[in-house]
Amino acid sequence: MFKFDSYLELSLPQLEAGSRFTQVQRFKNGDVQVNCFGVEYAGFPRKIEAQFKDNELALLWILTGKQEEDRVRQALIAAFGDPIYVSENWEAFRNWQVVLRKDKPEVLVSSPKKAMEHKAYILKN
C-alpha cells in the first residue's frame, strides 16, 4: 500500500483502497499529505499520514498511543533488532528509516532518501 518514492497520482488509488477513508491536504510549498484513516498497524486501526515531497512518497507518520509505547517498541525490536539510537524522545531502527517517537506517540517511517534528514533533525533537537 505504501511504496516510497512513488508518485502521488500512482499512490492515491492504493491509499484509498487500503483505508476506510482518506483526506488530502495540499500545502503552499507544494507538499501533499494524504491522511489515511482505519489502516491496520500493530493490532489496531490507525491514522497514517503519508507525506509526499516533490510529488514522491517520503514519510509516513503512524499515530499510536502513549499507553502502548512499550508494546510498539517490542514489535519494532522484533522486526528490526535493537535500536541504533535511543534518547528521551526517540528510538531509531533500520538505519534511521524507522523511528519511535516518544514525546508524541507515533512511529515515523521514511524513505532512504529522507532518513538522513530526519537523523540530523533528531540529533539536533
Look at residue 73 in the predicted model and tell me its pLDDT: 96
Tell me the three cell numbers of residue 2: 505504501
Look at residue 1 in the predicted model and tell me its pLDDT: 84
List helix spans (H) across 18-98.
Answer: 69-80
Distance of alpha carbon 122 from alpha carbon 58, whole angstroms: 17
pLDDT mean values, one per 10 residues, the chain (125 residues)? 89 94 96 97 93 94 95 96 97 97 96 92 89
Look at residue 21 in the predicted model and tell me its pLDDT: 95
pTM: predicted TM-score of the whole model, two decimal places? 0.91
CA-to-CA dists, residue 21 to 7, 50, 83, angstroms: 20, 13, 33
Look at residue 120 in the predicted model and tell me its pLDDT: 94
Look at residue 114 in the predicted model and tell me its pLDDT: 92
Is residue 67 classed as helix, strand or coil in its secondary structure?
helix
